Structure 1
């Protein structure tokens, strides 16, 4: 059975503009609600928020439980603090992950230079095991490590590649049936992934200056960034777009940069949940 590819246009994402925070929601979040089942969650993946936070602002401490929460830093610096006594700043290429387990409090803010926005993806996934002791991990992956290849940056703690320590090498541990890979693709370059689980999701990071409203396209200027997903039944995505992939277990899917500039993407390999 051939894989199913479903385009998720950026302009159809949920959108919130709080002045200090501009956020785009792939899945139901806060005031954004869709009755489309795949927009409520896709396997264990429940949140992908693409956030931009103004200098000196951020999310005050707030509680979580029974979620795996991780951030992929695109630009700027995030300042993380939590009830486990962690406090640190993480910049581009960094990933910080909190396994909320039985309950934690944490807060994130823009910890960068004056005048520097923070741009990051905030991602939530359901854990495969409840009642875990809360834990926190950080990893860093350089642009050169991700250049024209797919690098596993987050993976299930049971994966053989995982070093289960707060600051280790290899993918960031999560207690969820998923792997997240990242790539920075030069124009005309192709990477491929053979899926280990039934579902997948691709997100093409939105790098242009400017923001979309719910009904209009991004007005930023610059070269086109685009990625073709698949070969025979292909989907072409641009900045902020996504693709749901279904029935992909054991299938190899290609991703080709067909724009005029580098494309930064994250790809999820997901269980059914």
Structure 2
């Protein structure tokens, strides 16, 4: 079964310095039909004005993945991590028993756009953790996060796997998903089909009971997407 989450039906918040689209309920946006999917709780598509950002604030018991699409993030947290993330880079912050952090636009002249993703951990508490990496631009699927950190991926505290997908025009590929698992596909840019369904930028698709479904790039540019393999 495929259930689409159209981009134009997402929640939207505009705060002047921040423009954000919410695939699932978040902050003032509440929709009981879209509270998350399996362990996937949040996908926010955030655009942050130059020099602005999220002031220091706290989290606990959440795996927080950031993916920079344009611009750069300036990160600082209570564990002593200070870092800059350029476009294309990923960051995974395991909040564990509690962490405070700030995320600012690293530029005074250019906007920052990034995806903020929350995955609920399988166990609560534990020491906070921080991981950061650029996974390159290899065509096909690249493993970004996994429970055991295999293939030099981030280690996420959940039975979940996150993949980056880059797919050239006209090509097809099978999703790394079994019928016993749930999947969520979030299209960042491009146009693709999965079975009879078509997706555009910002669209998502909940996948249930499907074994290695095929996706095809329908456009004239490279598809960029994230694939979540969930319990």
Q: How do 1:104-253 and structure 2 match up within 5 A?
A: 104-112=99-107, 114-143=108-137, 145=138, 147=139, 149-156=140-147, 158-159=148-149, 161=150, 170-196=152-178, 198-206=181-189, 225-230=190-195, 234-248=196-210, 251-253=211-213
Q: Distance in 2 between matches of 1:40 and 1:55?
A: 31
1:29 aligns with 2:22: no
Aligned-pair CA distance for 1:178: 1.0
Unaligned runs of 5+ in 1: 163-169, 207-224
Conservation of the 8 A alpha-carbon contact between 1:61 and 1:106: yes
Structure 1 residue 16 corresponds to structure 2 residue 7: no
- What is the Cα deviation at residue 83 of structure 1? 0.2
The question of whether the paired residues in 2 share the 8 Å contact of 1:150 and 1:191 is answered with no
Give, in angstroms, the shift of residue 193 of structure 1.
2.0
TM-score norm. by structure 2 comes to 0.95
- Matched residues, number: 230
SS in 2 for 1:60: strand
Tell me by how many angstroms 1:260 deviates: 2.3
Is the partner of 1:119 in helix, strand or coil? strand
What does residue 267 of structure 1 align with?
227
Deviations 1:134-164 (A, max 9, x none): 1111111122x2x2x01111112x35x16xx
Hey, what's the Cα distance between the residues in 1 that align with 2:143 and 2:15? 33
2-side partners of 1:254 and 1:115: how far apart? 41
1-structure distance, mates of 2:111, 2:165 = 22
Distance (whole Å) between structure 1 residues aligned to residue 168 and residue 109 of structure 2: 29
Which structure carries more strand by proportion? 2
Q: Is the 8 A contact 1:68 1:124 kept in 2?
A: yes
Q: Is the 8 A contact 1:23 1:52 kept in 2?
A: yes
CA contact under 8 A between 1:95 and 1:172: conserved in structure 2? no
Query: Matches of 2:76 and 2:176 in 1, distance apart?
Result: 36
Q: Deviations over 1:2-48 (max 9, x none)?
A: xx101110000001111111111011001111121xx1011100000
After TM superposition, the runs of 4+ consecutive aligned structure 1 residues lying more than 2 A away are none
| Distance in 1 (alpha carbons) for counterparts of 2:21 and 2:226 | 16
Q: Which runs of 5+ in 2 are unaligned?
A: none
Counterpart of 1:44 in structure 2 is: 39
